[in-house]
Structure 1
Amino acid sequence: MRFDPSGRAHRSQRLTAAELATLLGKDVSQPVSRDPLPDSENPEAAERFRNQLQEHYPEASSGVQSALDFWRGQGGYLNYGQYEETTCFPMLDAGTSRLPHLMWPVAIYPVSGTVEVVFQYLRDRSPFDDTEQRRELLHRLNKIDGIELPEAKLELRPSFPVSVLAEHSDEFCEVLDWFVGVAALDLARRG
């Protein structure tokens, strides 16, 4: 475990009360602003997301947009939240025409400047319902300088700064590429 200069657990290592309750199997209502699966993409929401990111983290805007463009090139698409902070969800449908299988690796918050890794939602979606697959995603992300996600949060939604994604966009895209490949192999096995 890492500690800060005051001898407390490093921020990335701490658990919130809600995270602890989730790990204990308690139903914890999430704030409305953290809607995990918003309605379908719309141009107005996409524009709000870009504007919020440009306003609050202009230095990160280009790198984030580059990663999102890469995601689209891999066959994914983008959904956006409906609340004041317009969250971006890089979505992937790893299902069939008759049976969709939606998943997303992260949620990007342009005002708070965080990228949330959604292990909590992935744990219910094959192949990431396998703890080892989520652990591999965590390890791949942790290889990126500036990301330190603790293994204790494999059932939760830990986050890292959006600036890290922007500064290491190419490395982040490698993780996204791996994520899509794992989902495609799982679809082939299920198909």
Structure 2
Amino acid sequence: MTTLFLMVGLPGAGKTTRARQLAEEHGALRLTPDDWMIPLFGDAEADGKRDVLEGLMLWLALEAVRLGTNVVVDYGCWSRDERSAIRWLVEAEDAGFRMVYLPVNDETQLTRIAHRWATAPEETLPMTEADILHGRAHFEEPDAAELAGRGAAGRPGWAGWREWAANRWPSFA
């Protein structure tokens, strides 16, 4: 069965390293926004362009799944709603969905981010301690039910997850 692997975790958790391994192991297309944001814009957010890029990548991921290609989506997906929407969209294509959650403690996260910046600054984005704390405060850690494959059935206030996703990622529509 064609599978979409969704990388979930904070910066420095090892998502991209694991995403590369999964892509190689499963002959999968790997979609990592940072690989595009840095060369295109030199910035992680670039005035909302990341949301546009992620929406296009999500559309491409679903096209690849329809064509029978495994995909690794390396967004981080901090919100439960993002993860639920992607799970629903993938399962609507009769494809497999596998969430790969990589937790990281504070000390390891800081060490890895500092090491990455020191050894490969051209491949990473600068992060202040405030950025890291902001991320930790806004990250919704997956619970046991979500990790077991039971995502939210629907999104209150929206006709469905497809509509929610089109609002979250404007280019997805």
Higher helix share: 2
TM-score between the two structures when normalised by the length of structure 1? 0.30
Higher relative contact order (CA 8 A, sep 6+): 2
TM-score between the two structures when normalised by the length of structure 2? 0.32
